[in-house]
Structure 1
Amino acid sequence: MKPAAIDYARPKDLAEACAMLNEAGDAAMMVAGGQSLVPMMSLRLTAFETLLDVSRLEALKRTEDEGSHVFLGAATTHAMIEDGKVPDPSQGLMSRVASKIAYRAVRNMGTIGGSVALADPAADWPCGLIALEAEVILAGPDGERALPADGFFLGPYETAREPNEIIVGFRIPKLPPAARWGTFKVARKSGAFSDSLAIAVLPGDGSARVALTGTTAHAGLLVRASEALPSGNVAALREAARADIAELDPDADAYRVRCHLATVTRAAAEALS
């Protein structure tokens, strides 16, 4: 199939993009890498009147080491993160996550901002950003605002972004050198979206964060598992994770529960090793 007829616009800067989006609202859709949107357009799974091409906006390409945090622009590609071409606040975790996304051709074009904006329940970056306590930076007609990644994802393909806002980038706290992390992903085949993806982070201050996504409605923080992880008690961690999964994925069948428990356990084991 071919996409339906649409208007195409390429704003020259962020201010013009915000103005166009504010005027068009839900009738417009933004594209940067297009690795998810273009196939959806071709299959006519999504419909809108105007395509706003934000791929060349310098404001979305900015990357900066801000001392205690790193700012990554929304147009940063998966490959740039994988290859270490941007500052890394995560002691290598983000590079690992990026390397497991789809295929290299997709990673060369796909962007972290596009992944978060689409909010596919099985996408990798929402889980990673939640585990890293990142903030999502949005620009709109009233200026910029920051929202925590944990809580930004509301449901399948649904976020807290307003229709007239653009994701500018992400502010990510730096993990200390002593921090440890682990991640494990289950997918039907190499390059496919995950059935389950768990990421565990131990910053080294006695706290922990365990995030999960896959067949859940959206990525989320496993609060009980996060509290149990620093003890190193695997049995307690699994029981805590089971309770978290029942809340995050209440319709999960036995296979999905086992799958989630396996990824959480494997991610935690790597973080604790």
Structure 2
Amino acid sequence: MKPAAFEYARPADLAEACALLGELGDAAMPVAGGQSLVPMMSLRLTGFETLLDISRLDALKVVRDEETHVFIGAAVTHAMIEDGKVPDPAFGLMARVASKIAYRAVRNMGTIGGSVGLADPASDWPCCLLALGAEVVLAGAEGERVLGAGGFFLGPYETARDPAEIITGFRIPKLSAGARWGTFKVARKSGAFSDSLAIAVLTAEGEARVALTGTLDHAQLLPGASAALAAGDLAAVREAARAEVAQADPDADAYRLRCHVATVTRAAEEALTMEPRR
């Protein structure tokens, strides 16, 4: 199939892009790599009157290694993160996550901002950003706005982004020396979206965050499993995950429930047994 007819616009800079979005509202959608959005439009699962090509905006390709954070621009590709061409604030976690996204051809074009903006429930970056306690930076006609990842993802393909805003990048806290992490993903075949993806982060200060996505309606933190991970109790992680998954995915059948509990447990186990990163 082919997408319905649409207009194409390529703004010269971020200010023009924000102005166009403010004028067109819900009828327009920014697109960079287009690796998820364009196939969905071709299948007529979604559609927009205008696509705004923001792939060439330099403001979205900025990367800054700051004292406590790394800022990664929204137009940075999965492949750039996988290949270590941008700083990894999590001692290799982001490179690992990037390497498991789809196929290399997709990773060469797809962007972290596009993945987060689309907010597919089974995509990888929302789960990763939640586990790392990242912030989403947005730009609009009224200026810049910063939201914690926990308040950004609202539901399937639904975020707190205003239609007149563009995601410009992400502020990701640097893990301190001694941090550990683990991740585990289940997909029907290599390169497919996840049925279940869990990411566990254990800081050197003893704080823990466990995030889960897949068949949930959006990526979510599991506070019970996170507390159990901080205590170093893998059995308690499993029990907490069982209760929290049942609440987060109430329509889950027995397989889905076991799958989610298993990915959370495996991710937590890797975090607990990993040599501290430095």
- TM category (shorter chain) comes to over 0.9
- Pair 1:128 & 2:128 matched: yes
- Structure 1 distance, partners of 2:229, 2:5, is 51
Structure 2 residue aligned with 1:204? 204
1:1-273 to 2 correspondences below 5 Å: 1-273=1-273
- Structure 1 distance, partners of 2:205, 2:151, is 23
- 1:150 match: secondary structure: helix
- Structure 2 distance, partners of 1:145, 1:179, is 29
- Structure 1 distance, partners of 2:93, 2:263, is 16
TM-score by length of 1: 0.98
TM-score by length of 2: 0.97
Read off the aligned partner of 2:185 and give its amino acid letter.
Answer: K
- Structure 2 distance, partners of 1:136, 1:223, is 21
- Structure 2 distance, partners of 1:19, 1:101, is 32
Read off the aligned partner of 1:5 and give its amino acid letter.
Answer: A
Read off the aligned partner of 2:224 and give its amino acid letter.
Answer: R
Question: Could you give the per-residue CA deviations for residues 86-106 of structure 1, whole angstroms, max 9, x where no partner exists?
Answer: 111111000000000000000
Deviation larger for 77-86 or 3-12: 3-12
Question: Could you give the per-residue CA deviations for residues 111-142 of structure 1, whole angstroms, max 9, x where no partner exists?
Answer: 00000000000000000000000000001111
- 2:75 match: secondary structure: coil
Number of residues paired by the alignment? 273
Read off the aligned partner of 1:138 and give its amino acid letter.
Answer: L
- 1:170 match: secondary structure: strand
- Structure 2 distance, partners of 1:247, 1:131, is 19
Read off the aligned partner of 1:88 and give its amino acid letter.
Answer: D
CA positional deviation for 1:168: 0.4
- Structure 1 distance, partners of 2:192, 2:226, is 27
CA positional deviation for 1:40: 1.3
RMSD: 0.8
Structure 1 residue aligned with 2:276? none
Identity over aligned pairs, percent: 78
CA positional deviation for 1:208: 0.4
Question: Could you give the per-residue CA deviations for residues 119-169 of structure 1, whole angstroms, max 9, x where no partner exists?
Answer: 000000000000000000001111011101012111100001111110000
- Structure 1 distance, partners of 2:206, 2:7, is 53
Q: Which runs of 5+ in 1 are unaligned?
A: none
- Structure 2 distance, partners of 1:230, 1:47, is 44
Read off the aligned partner of 1:41 and give its amino acid letter.
Answer: M
- 1:39 match: secondary structure: helix
Deviation larger for 44-53 or 71-80: 44-53
